[in-house]
Structure 1
Amino acid sequence: MGFDWKEFFTVGMVLFAVIDIFGSIPIIVDLRNKVGHIQSEKASIVAAVIMISFLFVGDEILKLIGIDVNSFAVAGSFVLFFLALEMILGITLYKDDAPNTASIVPIAFPLIAGAGTMTTLLSLRSEYQTINIILGILANILIVYLVLKSSSRIEKTLGKNGLGVIRKVFGVVLLAIAVKLFAANVKGLFV
């Protein structure tokens, strides 16, 4: 079992919806206006390292505290469900503190590689090959880098309404993925 285009595309789309880099453009623009330059390269590399590391170490942490992957995947499906509701309905269920600087901390973590992304990675690991997940992470990091580099142009091109539509579409995709993830892993809890 190795590289699979379908798995790569699915993982890439799931991570794209969870990371929601287009939905984060207003936050990125606000940060840039407050503190000046955003270090796109540094933030992208650190986010990739965090995500790939967690993909491997996260499973060991679960074993250490006695939680199986199915339980974590079901819990992750709930997190994805609520993230999708936030995106679709335009509500805020989880409020994070506003960052003071545009360094690695607010951009790479938690904006890109946040709790939703970490939960998603371990949930995806229960269903997809590791190589496809890593390639999905790298593809998303490339998109994140390009968006960070050109956030002002994207904001001007799409406008507030365009960004809102994109956010809602990916919210519906994420909601469907959450339901699928729940259905695929809930059976494993009762075996």
Structure 2
Amino acid sequence: MPEPAFLITVFVTLFVVIDPIGLAPLFLALTQGMDRAQRVAVGLRACVISVVLLMIFGLAGEAILGAIGITMPAFQIAGGILLFLIALDMVFERRSKRREGHATSEDDPSVFPLAMPLIAGPGAMAAMILLVGETDWQWTGVAAVHLAMVAVIALAFILFLLAIPLERALGKTGTMVITRLLGILLAALSVQFVLNGLRGAGLV
């Protein structure tokens, strides 16, 4: 059974990278003009597609890396650097601007841009591979990582449904404050991934 501290780390990492709170106002913008039933359908479809994509990367990502000759420590270091860059974007509000650039009007935004790259983006894919790698492929640990991922995406779906009242409650300032706090937390977690990779490569 995975340690409680590991489970918390998994959930927090995926929560920060996927950022359900930050996605809610974008979901609102992408589904403007739709009625509640249409919004529910779009949100559900986007979340299901995201779960499938992240499961593929969680289960087969390391095998794909092995096939092209990339070691897990190397990917841990690269993934940690990628997550650190995402954290910088969050702290300095560059991430929201880039995401808003994806928020173009589409008839059905569930696959693009909602599922990918907004929910199952490169950061989330890298995080899944890294977190599954941390379990040493113990089936309980692998299952825990995937359950945490499903829980975070389920939370994103709930926030999609509550997007309108949530936007009014948080306001622009509240959303910015939460995003920056999560960015600082992600920066610390990303440094830990880099340290783990250096340790796995025997460099520290």
C-alpha root-mean-square deviation of aligned residues, in Å? 2.1
TM-score (norm 2): 0.85
Q: Distance in 2 between matches of 1:67 and 1:103?
A: 32
Matched ranges for 1:71-150 at <5 A: 71-92=74-95, 95=98, 98=102, 99-101=104-106, 102-128=109-135, 129-150=141-162
Structure 2 gaps of 5+ residues are 136-140
Q: Distance in 1 between matches of 2:63 and 2:29?
A: 37
TM-score (norm 1): 0.90
Native 8 Å contact 1:4 1:132 kept in 2: no
Q: Distance in 2 between matches of 1:69 and 1:127?
A: 10
1:53-111 deviation digits (Å, cap 9, x = unpaired): 21011111101101011111110001110100111122359946534422222111111
- The DSSP-based 3-state class of the residue aligned with 2:22 is coil
Counterpart of 1:52 in structure 2 is 55
Native 8 Å contact 1:85 1:171 kept in 2: yes
Compute the displacement of 1:115 (Å): 0.5
Amino acid aligned to 2:113: P
% identical equivalent positions: 28
| Length, aligned pairs only | 190
Native 8 Å contact 1:17 1:174 kept in 2: yes
Native 8 Å contact 1:59 1:69 kept in 2: yes
Q: Distance in 2 between matches of 1:3 and 1:75?
A: 25
Counterpart of 1:183 in structure 2 is 195
Question: Is 1:16 aligned to 2:19, yes or no?
Answer: no
Match of 1:174 among 182, 186, 193: 186
